[in-house]
Amino acid sequence: MSENDWISLNVGGQKFATCRSTLNREPSCMLARMFANPKSLKPGSTDSSGAFLIDRSPKYFEPILNYLRTGNLIIDPNLNPEGILEEARYFGIESLIPRLEQIVAQNSIPRDDRSLTRRDVIDALMSSSSGSGRGDTGLRFQGVNLESADLSRLDLRGINFKYANLSRARLTGANLSWCQLERADLSYALMEGAQMLGVKMLCANLEGVNLTNANFEDPAGTSANLEGANLRGANLENSTMAGINLRVATLKNVNMQNCDLRMAVLAGTLSRGTFF
């Protein structure tokens, strides 16, 4: 009996052919024990072609078999991961069960409550015909949850992020020029070196944000608008902020050392920070 022997399976009426070595990839699983040796737990019946009959769902068995072949879990978008998990438990594929349980648990969270990922944003950027540019591009992430998402170095110009949750997001080196960030939550986000030309951040929450070496100055003259924004404890050291509108913004404990504040509007700000 060789590991290279081919075995025919009839799972729920669909034929599968595989090597004994594939079924033995997980030695403790039922499939390995079925064909391990002459005294193994073989299926009770065969069909007319000699294929061993297994009364399980073929569509959920196929990703299990492919996992044993390659070590990679590939799930067709039209398949319910819960069905694959049920088969993994039935056949005892112990290395696969925790991964499927995680996928099922993630899918059980309502989409509106889930934090979007870098991949979600990139997919949206790639599918958008307007992609990036000056002003309103038509791409909207209004009110979405992007908490702790890694969006560093992405070109996000002109996107509507109004009311979005970007708390603790990583936006280092990202281009947010001309974005709409009105009342967005960017508290404690990492935004070092971000491009912020002409950005609209009215009443945005920027508490504790790291905006060191950021650039707010638009050579074309469109001023960044942070009117009413909360910048309590923010770090904007070495940022270029010429012409920025900080009217009635909260600047308590803000670090604005070495910032370029030429023509900045600071009327009515609540400030007690480091400016020089």
Q: Do domains 6-107 and 112-276 have the same CATH topology?
A: no
145-190: per-residue pLDDT in tens?
999 999 999 999 999 999 999 999 999 999 999 999 999 999 999 9
Which residues on adjacent β-strands are paired with residue 210? Answer: 190, 235
Q: What percent of the chain has pLDDT over 90?
A: 63
Q: Whole-angstrom Cα distance, residue 193 to residue 171?
A: 9
| CATH number of the domain located at residue range(s) 6-107 in this protein | 3.30.710.10
Q: What pLDDT score was predicted for residue 276?
A: 45
> What confidence tier does 38 reach under pLDDT thresholds 50, 70, 90?
low
For all residues of the chain together, what is the average pLDDT?
87
pLDDT at position 217 over 90 = yes
Least reliable range by pLDDT among 76-85, 146-155, 206-215: 76-85
User: Is the model more confident about 221 or about 85?
Assistant: 85
- Number of residues assigned to the chain: 276
Q: N- to C-terminal Cα distance for the chain?
A: 81
- Report the C-alpha gap between 29 and 24 in whole angstroms: 8
Q: Cα separations (Å) of 67 from 52, 63, 72? A: 20, 6, 5
**pLDDT value for 75:** 87
pLDDT range class, residue 103, cuts 50, 70, 90 = confident
Q: Which of 53-57, 66-70, 119-123, 252-256 has the lowest mean pLDDT?
A: 119-123
How is the chain split into domains, by residue range? 6-107, 112-276
Confidence (pLDDT) at 42: 58
Asked whether residue 131 carries a pLDDT value surpassing 50, the answer given is no
Q: Look at residue 120 and tell me whether its pLDDT is greater than 70.
A: yes
Name the residue with higher pLDDT: 269 or 84.
Answer: 84
Cβ within 8 Å of residue 254, ≥6 positions away:
231, 232, 233, 234, 235, 236, 271, 273, 274
Residues 240, 243, 248, CA angle at the centre, nearest 5°?
A: 105
Query: DSSP label at 240?
Result: B
Q: Once rounded to an integer, what is the mean pLDDT over residues 80-98?
A: 93
CATH class of 112-276: mainly beta
Segment 13-35 shows an average pLDDT of 90
pLDDT band at 132 (very low <50, low <70, confident <90, very high): very low
Structure token digits, residue 227: 């009117």
Read off the pLDDT band of 34 (50, 70, 90).
confident
Instruction: Give the pLDDT band (50/70/90) at residue 36.
Output: confident
